[in-house]
Amino acid sequence: MSDEAPVAAEKIEGIVVGVDGSQQSKCALRWAEREAVRRGSVLNIVSAYTIPVFAASSMDAGYSTLDDDLIRGGAEEIVRQARADLEGSQAQIRTYIESGDPAGVLLDLSQDAELVVVGTRGRGGFVGRLLGSVSSALPAHSKCPTVVVPLCMSKEQESSGNAAVERNCIVVGVDGSDRARSAVLAAADAAVASDLTLRLICAVPPVGAALAWMPATIDQEAVLEDVRYQMSVGTKWLRSHYPELKMETDVVSGPPVEVLIRESEHAVLTVTGSRGRGGFTGMLLGSTSQGVLHHSKGPVMVVPDSEDPRLEDRKNFDTRAQEQ
């Protein structure tokens, strides 16, 4: 079911999906629709457009108005087609057409949204670059979690979602930082809601490769063992808030990007924070999240910093571990 297309002047809540008519956009749309149905949330379909600078600067006022109408008409057609593609959906659907930079439009909407969903790359053109560069810029600055859906999901969607690959868990990358813990909480929520196993992965780059200036006496296995201990403390904390959560943990020696991309092949969702802390466990989030976003084999959720009170509770588990 759907509502009449309103103008995006009021506060938008629920799930926001950016569309530009590309195949990547359609993948994101389908994923967002299923998530909206699962959550019982409103699905807000958004298209944004801008007048190219060269066109705006070379036209008088009359031609500029005509050009704006023409470009907006293209955006309206994209939104109409997106709605038609979801005919029969059980989601409550609303549509919005905005004039402005696509990344800026979606960033503004993220203030009140539960989730923003985009594809990995757009098709460019007048309606312009709604995805593409947006899928790099938006996750780093969004006020709510952002999900980026890769084009490779298209064939799986056409085959009821699981014909080519069995996706049976939710994966979250951790590095011991509070930002990573925010991602862990979001991933745990998703795992519980979907009745899936949560896999917590910490990738530790080889010391020799990542820190060439460090003494050769540093024992890589000792580093891994210390990380495993910290992971065990973290799982106790997580279990205290999610007693029924099915969990697996793994500490892997290897480049974080490669590890998470490999894990994404069998994940319903791969979750990271927006930034990491660096150090031995090694920039797992931060710039690494960009590599995961653009090469993942499945949807990636990037979770911004949060002020969840459970993060303070986590410090109590660190204290207890030190006292033992």
Smallest CA-to-CA distance from 251 within 220, 276, 273 is with 220
Which amino acid is it at 89? S
Q: Do domains 15-154 and 164-317 have the same CATH topology?
A: yes
Encode pLDDT of 1-28 as tens digits: 445 444 445 688 999 999 988 888 899 9
In the prediction, which pLDDT does 276 show? 52
- What are the φ and ψ backbone dihedral angles of 48, each rounded to 5 degrees? -125, 150
Encode pLDDT of 226-235 as tens digits: 888 888 988 9
Which residues are paired to 115 by β-bridges? 15
In the prediction, which pLDDT does 208 show? 54
Encode pLDDT of 159-207 as tens digits: 544 445 678 899 999 887 767 888 999 999 999 999 999 999 998 877 6
d(CA 12, CA 87) in angstroms, rounded, equals 22
Smallest CA-to-CA distance from 130 within 152, 155, 97 is with 97
d(CA 132, CA 296) in angstroms, rounded, equals 15
* Domain extents in the chain: 15-154, 164-317
In the prediction, which pLDDT does 186 show? 94
Smallest CA-to-CA distance from 14 within 95, 82, 100 is with 95
Which amino acid is it at 42? V
Smallest CA-to-CA distance from 190 within 300, 307, 315, 311 is with 300
The CATH number, out of the four listed (1.10.3720.10, 3.40.50.12370, 3.10.129.10, 3.40.50.300), of the domain defined by the range 164-317: 3.40.50.12370
Which residues are paired to 18 by β-bridges? 46
In the prediction, which pLDDT does 221 show? 75
In the prediction, which pLDDT does 245 show? 96
- pTM exceeding 0.75: yes
Q: Tokens 């459970």 correspond to what residue?
A: 310
Residues of the chain with pLDDT under 70: 1-10, 51-67, 121-133, 135-136, 154-165, 178, 207-220, 275-288, 318-324
Which amino acid is it at 8? A
Task: Give the architecture (CATH level 2) of 15-154.
Answer: 3-Layer(aba) Sandwich (3.40)
In the prediction, which pLDDT does 1 show? 45
The average confidence (pLDDT) of the chain is 79
Smallest CA-to-CA distance from 172 within 242, 111, 226 is with 242
